[in-house]
Structure 1
């Protein structure tokens, strides 16, 4: 869905019809008839039609804009609706259908996708398109359509019951109807009768639910979630309206006024986009939640207070533009550096996890893992946090779990991994499995970085608690789970390829279909397409750890321009093996080991002093950043590996 504005309407919901539909004369005829009738469909429970133009090559329809969340997104992201929300939902939908049926209209495609949950209540947010589609082909609400498969009031009543059942469990009617409260179950069973003549009418539903009347308010935790979503949408609209980014706006002429199109975080997707989207030729593909600016243009964070007294760095990475070096300091948290000037410019977060963090491929944003003490939880759980450096905005992502964790009503789950897609338009986030609900709730979700919403989740049978993931391209990623590497489809999680014998939750990508990963006593360079080993680099001591020690990989990086491969790991005493408990502090207190190889010859280069702890390669080959044995950060010459500067 687009959000658009005109002189007459500050905000409207704009649906642009897909070319494959609009090219069908039968569809255009049906759409024109349905939309004309919809102009007079007045109901507080149905989004009103405001304007349309069906004569254009790309037809569009403008309806009232309501801040809210589609029912499907709400349930799939935050879990089944609480029992207190079902009756208000049932009454609002019944009254919306009754208003339509009173005007001799039908919805014909009622489903969780066409229901909007707003702060004021539930709303039928679809008008016109689905009705027209039902005239020329199969109904699009599979799983909610009545057996007779026609556009009729009795079909809407059947779908009303199917939607309620789905809302309490996210599954089919046959699997979930017993989860409905008793006062609604009998009514739903009557609506689901095979013979449409035996089903109650929508007027019967309203009467049996105590209406006509205003539905009761939503429960407090749902109100809180909707308030937060509305605030985000309001900020997005405010940010987009006064200064639209190039390529994000276009004028669509209509009969009464021009609609200025604004692509913002609307949180709703009800109609298919045109395959020829109406955007200007100056295309800006930077997602809305990533600022389109360089890292040193105008940082949104204040300068640091005081100098670095003792760095004790644990991880580092260059920004995509190469101008900034981000360093995690055990003593000072996330620090940002103009590395050429040797100047620290900001400290956005005082504490982050000491593991890997990742820059987005566009703009200047990075994702780190932070800790959060959720209500009624004795443990500190990890959260995915993005730090947008030009804007100074910090956002936490819960992934595919309910926001009820923020109020203590649901047990939180820690984040295991977060990865940006190559375009930066999406990210995948993986959580600890939902053990309390026997894995019913998804652990893996895809985030749209234009909206911040989870737009896709993986089915449970496809979801393993992998520890690390990287996108191979926009459609595929590679995930590490246990001792296997798995190439999966990003949208569904379906496995396409499995590679066994992985011994580290780290991986890096080369050009084409090649990867590098740890496999016992070697680092393997592997061709995914051919399914064969290209090269290997021995690490005998990594696999030959003593039983009383534990070890974890601190870095695995490859740079084909410089022709270098780096691998490092840290050895931590394991009390269960007879050693003493490790003291608090960073990993510089423990033995660190590393290797730096020439990719072409396989020979080791540099020395243990520069390779034992994490390093990163400048994207243009200008320098190498390396953490020294004592936690100092060094800038190295990429050819001689001599120290040319030290950050402090």
Structure 2
């Protein structure tokens, strides 16, 4: 809980605003006092959503339905105004931490508390189901803990925020670590999808880890679909068996809410006299109650108390009034860019299953595993993901961003994702525009040129021109292009290419001479690429390969950039990433485990300097990036349960010394300004982008 900033409203509708509770992908949340004297949590929709007529219609529909959700484990909807200039909704205030916060600060819950948690959650799902809703985003961050049991929040809102059409199959996509396989596939959802997410949340409560591990969204989603959850932290016994049943890949094999409740209620529960919450959580609740009392009384608040949001606030938003949410920014001069309303589509949501612009099809993964490529098996059927990937109607949202990059002059920030490329004036904190039609991926050249990958070609756009300077590729036997990158001198562009369905869908690394359009080389791959980069001198190409068999075909690969010859491959199935320095082209930083980072010689493949490992208790690193002079290596992290709370590290690359030990607000992906002025970081799959001071890495702005 934090005191109100200068720009925060003092009244919203009939409710008096007392303090700020936090912020998220949908908007800001305030503590408010209702006219009849009750406390409520009032959520105000962000500007972009407020201006989206489709969102307003969905938001109003979900609110009407949510009014019928009643029960002891779902905070009641108090009031809402979806027709207001800035829509808002108010729910019963629960003075307790989220499950994510409680486990982070106090550790996993006891075996008895896990049973109470699971029982309360399934009763909440029953209440939500009776109202005709599916939660769609049940996760530790949407579960509040209170003495009377867990409280499930934000039910129904996921569809309002993330869907595009009420009639579209597979309308929404939840948080990757807790999404069900059918959500990933874009199939119809039922309460059994929420049961899957419920089980994953209980596993987190038992271990502090998501059920399918941490890492890049694409890797997590692949494990959700193909691998089994890690239930080892759950005590052996009936509860573990029940959770395994709930985590079945086929929703038909899972229990429904009623069946799950009956099984859970047959298990022993803790003595009610001692409560179900561990002492640290009970203390957090008492502190929250004291903070709310002080806010209501107008007394000063200590922003460092538990419950304060980790999400920064720019403090410059005008109060709610006739001019809110502000005038639109002027049209950008670049012919590629245009402004349009934010519209989150199913294609963008399904795109969380990809990195760097390339998609994998769940029924037709590449088969080669020896580093030499080879044909893949013919199609055995069309998976729903394939249809989702084929759509190109994604709006300029931040949902699928997996790469951030500054323009060469440092004035613009590109947010690059699968079928989404938005351009930001980071100094002004404004969205400049979006590239339309949206490409599968983009590369930025040293002179500001853009390489945009589409299904049929890679287009080269020079700054200020109103048509492509060149179109590369266009072969009939290619299904799509993705991940384009410029060589340092701009003479060559290399990209991931997928074979057409008739060609067996093999993956290739393809390079072109930009001046002539001729293919320089073509290299078969054992899987798709999820990252690609040139060394500073243009002599090496380094990429991250994600194959169908992680133990044999996945890894960081190094090629000779002149011939495409394979040089090395570094393997690790769980945590693997790399970064190339700007001034030492013969080395790279290599991540080969959650906390194992080394500087590696690109010519020999041998480690030349192991970096000091971070201390225990921090999230696993997933994204490496150098400072402009190469003296510092930053590591962003990816926490699927609460990405905005993730903490990264930094090293001195000359000595390997750890400069920052898991204390930086750096979440994958990360980008460093070309002059080191600022560092840009994501806050999860759909949250705002953070701008950090280049010297002390303090948050100075937020792009949303």
Considering the TM-score relative to the shorter chain, is it more than 0.5? no
Compute the TM-score of the two structures, normalised by the length of structure 2. Answer: 0.38
Compute the TM-score of the two structures, normalised by the length of structure 1. Answer: 0.41
Rg: which structure is higher?
1
